[in-house]
Amino acid sequence: MATMAGDAPSRRALIAGLAALPVAGTAAAAAAERRERRSKKRKPARAKVQHVDVAIIGAGVFGAWTAWHLVRAGKTVRLFDAYGAGHARASSGGESRVLRMGYGADTLYSEMARDSLPLWKALSDSASAPIFHNMGVLWFAPQGDAHSAQSLAWLQANRIGHEQGDVRWLQDKYRQIQFFQGEAGLLETEGGALIAARGVQEVIADAGVAVERVVMPAPLLLKRTKRHTLPDEGTADHLVYACGPWLAEIFPQQLMHKIVATRQEVYHFGAPQGDTRFAPPELPVWADFNNGRIVYGIPDLEGAGFKIAFDTHGPVIDPDTMERTLTPAGIAEARAYLARRFPGLANAPLIGGRVCQYENSANGDYLIDRFPGQDRVWLVGGGSGHGFKNGPAVGRRVAAYIMDASLAIEPRFSFSSKGTMAARTVF
């Protein structure tokens, strides 16, 4: 049957209409998907694991090793972190950390480092790439320095491998470093460097725990069940808040001015091609105890370049919003130090760097204690720039407290010991 010219749709309109059909269907499907997502946001998905023995908030080195020890003890664990394991804003992130045992007269930290070393070694041996690099740790300071003498005494008493000597010994052994008359050195031969972010991720993988990217609120205890609620309606008997510089943000009334995050910078310089003097095994980790402060560094490890940092507390920062850009003044200070102590790197290019943070506690010691008034909520933090190496020992201690409520809290790590903020230099 013929159609009137005025009634017939044009070919172009027909094609356009047919082409629009799938688009309309796709748009409808997308709208339905958006409604479903909004519905899910309003109604959180039911937890896959309804209940665990322990929920850990913070997948840094303290949280990771706490999870590892608890899993080994047969406990069920969930691990949460707002940004993931070993992320760029974490105190446990970045390329490398120092593992040394000399702490002067502070034998508590020396013992924790000694006890942590075999666990780091075992993890490194089983990992696809090394976590611990046994290159030694060299200290140099004025002859008769009390910290060096006390560290030496502890190493000798505990039969930890070491070497020592005067400035002539230093000059003969490390010609790439400029030493000065009246200095002496101490080499911890069993120490070295740890790979940071990858190390944390490896601990978590070895524990067999998945990191859930969740922003965790302050604890909420269900009075009827005596269990703590989790964001997805799961529950846990115990909560461990091991979230470093975010501890004071979650518990401002209890921890403001007791745990404070400060800005730090590290710099990586590149040696010339073929110059192996600034890489292991020719150079160990090193620390300069002179002029009332510590300057330390790690030789070119895994291609990251020669690392140098100044162990002084910078300005207080917010770890979420801080811009992580190196300052010209900091770079200039690092170059001036290289020219004085490592003249072979005086003109080396800056090939990398990192702006990170210390999470300082008021007394310079870790915080490992129950939340005031709550027996099964734990606060773990205050690494103060030296916590990474002791992660295994801290995790073991936290796990032991959870499994045995009668264990006494170390007074130096107690909540009550954290008064007003005071700077303390550590390495």
**CATH code of the domain in which 278 resides:** 3.30.9.10
Q: Is residue 1 part of a domain?
A: no
Q: In this predicted model, which residue has the larger pLDDT, 25 or 227?
A: 227
Write the pLDDT tens digit of every residue in 251-304.
999 999 999 999 999 999 999 999 999 999 999 999 999 877 899 999 999 999
Cβ atoms of 96 and 267 within 8 Å: the answer is: no
Tokens 């800005």 -> residue: 263
Residue 310, pLDDT > 50, answer yes
Say which DSSP state 111 is in. Answer: H
Choose among 304, 235, 294, 296: nearest CA to 54. Answer: 235
Q: Is residue 347 part of a domain?
A: yes
The CA distance from 90 to 273, in Å, is: 33
Task: Return the pLDDT at 217.
Answer: 81
Q: Is residue 299 part of a domain?
A: yes
Average pLDDT over residues 172-191: 98
Q: Is residue 23 part of a domain?
A: no
Confidence of residue 27 (pLDDT cuts 50, 70, 90): very low
Confidence of residue 228 (pLDDT cuts 50, 70, 90): very high
Q: Is residue 138 part of a domain?
A: yes
Q: Is residue 46 part of a domain?
A: no
Task: Return the pLDDT at 424.
Answer: 44
Cβ atoms of 332 and 297 within 8 Å: the answer is: no
Average pLDDT over residues 373-398: 94
Q: Would you tell me the crossing angle of helices 196-207 and 61-72 to the nearest 10 degrees?
A: 20
Average pLDDT over residues 373-388: 92
Q: In this predicted model, which residue has the larger pLDDT, 31 or 245?
A: 245
Q: Is residue 408 part of a domain?
A: yes
The CA distance from 62 to 56, in Å, is: 10
b or e along 222-258 (b: 16 or more beta carbons within 10 Å of the residue's beta carbon)? Answer: eeeeebbbbeeebbbbbbbbbbbbbbbebbeebbeeb
Look at the chain and count its residues: 427
Tally of structural domains, the chain: 1
Confidence of residue 45 (pLDDT cuts 50, 70, 90): low
Its domain, for residue 398, covers: 51-417
Q: Is residue 10 part of a domain?
A: no
